[in-house]
Amino acid sequence: MNSKMRFAQRPFNRLPIGLPTGLLFLLVGFATVVSAEGPGTAVDSENSNFGTITEETPSIPQYFSWINNTNEGSTEAQTITNLEFFKWLHDEYGMRLGIYAWDAGNIDSEKYYGNMQSEKFKQQYPNGWGDIAALAKSFSCRLGLWGGPDGFGDTPEAEQARIDLLVSLCRDYELQLFKFDAVCTQLREEKQASFAKAMTECRKYAPDLIVLNHRLNLGVAKPHATTFLWGGAETYIDVHMRNRTTAPHNRAGALSRGLPPDLKRLTEDHGVCISSCLDYWEDDLVLQAFNRCLILAPEIYGNPWLLRDDEFAKLSRIFNLHFRHREILVKGMELPERYGSNAVSRGDGSTRFITLRNLSWQPVTYDVSLDEEIGLTDKGDVEVRRYHPSERMLGTFDHGQSLPIEVPPFRSYLLMATTKPCSEIGVLGCDYEVVRDTTNQPVLVKLLGLPGTNATVSLHPGSRSFSKAYLGNEPANKILDGSQTIRFPGQPVSLPWHKQLAELTPVEVPADAEQLYEATCFQAENNALEVQSLHRSGPTSIPQVQNARDAFFDQELFWRRGIWDKYMFDGKLETFFSVLHYGNDKRIDQGALRIDLGKPETIDQLSFRALWPSSDPRQPPLEVSAEVSKDLTSWKPVTFKRTAVQEGNIKVADIQKNGGSSSLFDADVYTWELQSDRAQPFRYLRIFDAPQRVAEFAAWANNKQLDASDWHATNLFAPFDAARPVAAWQAAAEIEDNTAEGSYLCVALDGKHGINKAFAALRVDGEWIGASQRAPSFPCVAWEYPARSQASNDTHYFPVTDAMRGKKIEIVVLGLTGGETNIKPHAWITSYYPPRESITLRLEE
C-alpha cells in the first residue's frame, strides 16, 4: 500500500444553502415550489412542496419529545429541564440542536384539538411558551409541535381560530416545524383548502417551515407537506423495532434499515430512539445522519439523558461533524453491492463521507476505491479518516488506490476521504475520540489503545492552533511539534476480543433444569425499558442530566403505571409493581412474582400489600401460595394469608389501547402476611397467583424491618411447572483469566423456538448464572406501547464477571413446554468496543 501519510490544515469553507426555484398557484395565492429532483426541474403539484426547504437544503438537527411524555403531553417544567440539558450540550461540547419539537399532548392530542386558552394547556404551561422559546433561542434552537391536520371546526369562526392559532405559533414563537399525525384525526376533504391556507399564512412568518406528513391523506393540500413518512416505522427499540436475526446487541434490526427511494431527503425516518436498549445507539445515529441524511438529521427522540456521562461527548461529536459538513452531505450516491448493503457516499468532488455496515457475526473487509466510484472526482492525494466506531487517521493515499476497510460485526462505519486539507483535529498513531472541540475552552481528546501497549502519536491541529499540550496532568508540548511515545495503562488482554466460543449440541434435559431456568427468572428484569436503561448507564454527576432524568421518572403518570420493581420497596402505597399493560395481564402462563433479597436472611415475618380496584366485584384471595429457597436447589412451600383491607381510594393509572393515554380509577389496599420459620433462612421467594398490582413488600427480623434498597423483583416469567423444559443444548467453554473488562457472552438461538419458550443460563463453579438481558428484550410492562417478543432468533447476554475469569463454564439452552426446538445455538464472547485504555490529551491555545 502506497501510504504517504501527509497532512495539512485548511480553513473550512461553507457552501451556499439551496434556494427556491419556482412559483405555483394552488388554492391560496402564490408560494414557492421546488422539485424533489433538485432546483430547476419542472414538476407537477403532486410532487411539489412549498417554502424554502428543498432537496438541497442542509439537514436540520432535531429532538422530539415522544416517549419522554406520552399522549397526555409534557409540562412547562419538564420542557425547560429538557431544554437546559440541550443548552448544556451546546455550551460544553458545542452541539447544535436546530429544532426541539414537542410531540403529542401539548396542544392537540389523540382525537383532540386544543388551543392555548384551554384549561388543559394552562395547567401544563401556566406561563405560556414565551420563556420556553427564549430559552431555546439562547442556544440557536427553534421549536416544533405535534398536532392534527384538522381542527378547523364547522363554522367560519372556528376555522379562522384554528388558522390564527397555527400562524401565531410561527409568528410569536418562531416555530419551524409541524408534525401532523393521523393519531389525532385525518383531514376532512372539505377542509383541505383550509389546511393549505393555514400553511401558506404560517410560511409568511416561517418560510423555512417544515411540515411532516405522518400517515395523512391531505388531498389537494399535499404539496404543502414537506415530507412523507418513509417506511412508516417508529424506532423505539424492542417496542416498535426489534432484531429479526441473532446479534450481539438489540439494535441490529435498526441497523438493517434500507434507504429511501432515490435517496430522497424530503422524507422522515422517525429518527433514532435513545430511550431503550441503549448499547450501539451511535451506530444507529451514524446511519441516520450520514447514510440517509434526511432533512431532519441527526434526529433523536425519547430520553437521551439516559446515556452514560461519557457518551454525551460522542453524541455531540456526531452532531458536530454532521453540522460542519452539512452543505455537502445533501448530495448522495448509493455504492455498488460489493460495499455491502445500503452503502452510501455523500459529499462533493473533493470530500466524501462513506457509510458502511456489517450485519454478520464475523468482521467484513470492503475494498474502498478512492476515486470516482465513491464520487471523488478531484485528483490528487487523498487523506482518509475513520470517524466511527472510533476515530483514526488512516493516512494519505494515491487517488484511485483501493483501501481495505474492516468493519466490525454488527456495526456501522463512517469514513471520510478528501483531497483537501482537513479542518478537523486529529491524532496520528492511535485511535482517538474528540471529546470537546469548542471555542474558549481547552480541547479534550481521548487517546485510545490496547492495555499495556505503546504508541507514538502526533497531533494534526486542523484549523486550530495550540501553544500547550498535556497528557493527563503532565505537560506534553512535544506532541505539538513532532511526536511523543505514550504507554496505555493496564495489563495485556486476551485477543481476539471477539470470537466464537462454541456450537451447542443437543443433550438430555439436565437434572438442574429448574435451577438454570430460575437463575434467569431472578436475574433478568421486567421493569420498563427506560428503567433498564437507567440501570445500564448508572448514576450521573451532571446536574442537567440528573434534572432531566428526574423530570422523566418523577412525572406522575410514570409512577402511576407501576412499571418499576422498586415501587414495591419504597414505602409508598400509591406506587406499585404491575403486570398490566393496555388492560391486559402480561404474565406468561399466569406468571409468578419473584423476589431476590440479595443474600440469605433469617426472617420473622413477611407481608405484602396490593391495590385492588374498588369497582371490581371479585374479592381478592384469602390465601396466596408461595415458595422460598436459600440457593435455588430446594423450595419450601409457604402461604400468605389476607389480614386486612383499607379503603384508601388510591389513584391508579392503567395505560389504554390508544398508544399512550391513561385512565385513573380508585383502588383499595389489601394486606397478606406470612409468619416465617426462623430456622430456615432464605434468599429467594416466588409467589404464585399474586395480585396484579403489588404496592409494598416488606420483611422483619428481630422486630426490625429489613433494608430493601438492594432487593430485586420480576413478575412476568412463567412458573417452572408451566415452563418445564422439554429439550436442551449444551457446550463447554473457558473464560480466559485476562479477558477484557466489559466483555460479555452472547448465546444466539438461530431458528424457531417459540415466543418466550427458550431460556439460556450458565453453570460456573457449581453456581447458576442467568441471562441479564436478551434481544429482543425480556417481557416487561412498558412505558408506552407493549414490548415485543418473537418466536425465533433470540439472543441471550451474560456479562463476564471476575468470578467467571479463568473458569471453565457450561452454557445451557432450555427449550420450554409449548415451544419449538428447531434451533442451532451458538455462543460468542465479545465487547461493545475493543478492549482499550484511554489517556486524555488536553490542548490549549
Residues 132-169: pLDDT tens digits? 999 999 999 999 999 999 999 999 999 999 999 999 99
Reported confidence tier of residue 74, pLDDT bands at 50, 70, 90? very high
pLDDT of 34 strictly over 60: no
What per-residue confidence (pLDDT) applies to 28? Answer: 33
Residue with cell 439537514: 59
What's the burial of 663, exposed, middle or buried (CB within 10 Å: 0-12/13-18/19+)? exposed
Kindly report the CATH number assigned to the domain that includes residue 480: 2.60.40.1180
Structural domain including 643 reads 555-716
| 596 shares a domain with 688 | yes
pLDDT of 722 strictly over 70: yes
Cα(737)–Cα(132) distance, rounded to whole angstroms?
54
Cα(732)–Cα(499) distance, rounded to whole angstroms?
15
Reported confidence tier of residue 515, pLDDT bands at 50, 70, 90? very high
Reported confidence tier of residue 680, pLDDT bands at 50, 70, 90? confident
Cα(827)–Cα(838) distance, rounded to whole angstroms?
29
All cell numbers assigned to 639: 402461604
Quick one: which of 258, 467, 252 has its CA closest to 360?
Answer: 252
Give mean pLDDT, residues 365-386. 97
Q: Note the pTM of the prediction, 2 decimals.
A: 0.92
| 370 shares a domain with 315 | no
pLDDT of 375 strictly over 80: yes
Percentage of the chain exceeding pLDDT 70: 93
Give domain status of residue 536, yes or no.
no
All cell numbers assigned to 337: 453491492
Give domain status of residue 443, yes or no.
yes
Residue with cell 466506531: 389
Q: Which of 259, 290, 324 is the last residue of a domain?
A: 324
pLDDT of 291 strictly over 50: yes
Cα(286)–Cα(276) distance, rounded to whole angstroms?
18
| 116 shares a domain with 103 | yes
- Domain tally, the chain: 4
Query: DSSP class of residue 764?
Result: E
| 726 shares a domain with 690 | no
pLDDT of 314 strictly over 60: yes
Q: Which of 716, 745, 762 is the last residue of a domain?
A: 716
| 234 shares a domain with 94 | yes
Cα(298)–Cα(319) distance, rounded to whole angstroms?
6
Reported confidence tier of residue 655, pLDDT bands at 50, 70, 90? low
The helix (run of H) or strand (run of E) holding residue 119 is helix 119-124
Distances (CA, A) of 95 to 98, 229, 283, 435, 678: 10, 26, 18, 12, 59
What per-residue confidence (pLDDT) applies to 654? Answer: 65
Distances (CA, A) of 549 to 420, 531, 533: 43, 10, 11
Q: Which of 272, 291, 324 is the last residue of a domain?
A: 324
Cα(275)–Cα(302) distance, rounded to whole angstroms?
5
| 768 shares a domain with 676 | no
Reported confidence tier of residue 26, pLDDT bands at 50, 70, 90? very low
pLDDT of 744 strictly over 70: yes
Quick one: which of 409, 408, 413, 411 has its CA closest to 361?
Answer: 409
Q: How many CB atoms within 10 Å of residue 757?
A: 24
Query: DSSP class of residue 585?
Result: E
Q: What is the largest CA-CA distance in the chain?
A: 87
What per-residue confidence (pLDDT) applies to 231? Answer: 84
All cell numbers assigned to 259: 434507504
pLDDT of 414 strictly over 90: yes
The helix (run of H) or strand (run of E) holding residue 91 is helix 76-93
Encode pLDDT of 5-14 as tens digits.
Answer: 333 333 333 3
Our CA angle for 456, 459, 461, nearest 5°, is: 175
Give domain status of residue 84, yes or no.
yes
All cell numbers assigned to 546: 440528573
Give domain status of residue 726, yes or no.
yes
What per-residue confidence (pLDDT) applies to 233? Answer: 84
Q: Are 207 and 226 in contact (CB under 8 A)?
A: no
Quick one: which of 800, 163, 146, 201 has its CA closest to 494?
Answer: 800
Quick one: which of 675, 682, 664 has its CA closest to 557?
Answer: 664
Strand runs labelled E in 20-127:
22-25, 30-35, 48-50, 60-64, 99-102
Encode pLDDT of 681-690 as tens digits.
Answer: 999 999 999 9
Give mean pLDDT, residues 411-439. 96
Angle subtended by helix axes 156-173 and 130-137, to nearest 10: 40
Give domain status of residue 782, yes or no.
yes
| Mean pLDDT for all residues in the chain | 91
Give domain status of residue 26, yes or no.
no
Give domain status of residue 645, yes or no.
yes
pLDDT of 733 strictly over 80: yes
Give mean pLDDT, residues 696-703. 94
- Which of 169-178, 429-438, 670-679, 738-747 shows the lowest mean pLDDT across its residues? 670-679
Reported confidence tier of residue 676, pLDDT bands at 50, 70, 90? confident
All cell numbers assigned to 220: 389537494
pLDDT of 93 strictly over 70: yes
| 565 shares a domain with 445 | no
Q: Are 283 and 253 in contact (CB under 8 A)?
A: no
| 825 shares a domain with 775 | yes
Q: How many CB atoms within 10 Å of residue 140?
A: 10
Kindly report the CATH number assigned to the domain that includes residue 755: 2.60.120
Percentage of the chain exceeding pLDDT 90: 85
| 749 shares a domain with 675 | no
Reported confidence tier of residue 662, pLDDT bands at 50, 70, 90? low
| 696 shares a domain with 563 | yes
| Contacting residues for 816 by C-beta, under 8 A, at least 6 apart | 517, 718, 723, 724, 725, 726, 754, 756, 757, 758, 759
Q: Are 763 and 818 in contact (CB under 8 A)?
A: no
| 380 shares a domain with 269 | no
Reported confidence tier of residue 666, pLDDT bands at 50, 70, 90? confident
What per-residue confidence (pLDDT) applies to 19? Answer: 32
What per-residue confidence (pLDDT) applies to 830? Answer: 98
Sheet bearing 177-181, strands edge to edge: 267-268, 227-229, 210-214, 177-181, 142-147, 99-102, 60-64, 296-302, 272-274
Quick one: which of 150, 164, 148, 155 has its CA closest to 194?
Answer: 150
| 379 shares a domain with 273 | no
Give domain status of residue 767, yes or no.
yes
Kindly report the CATH number assigned to the domain that includes residue 704: 2.60.120.260
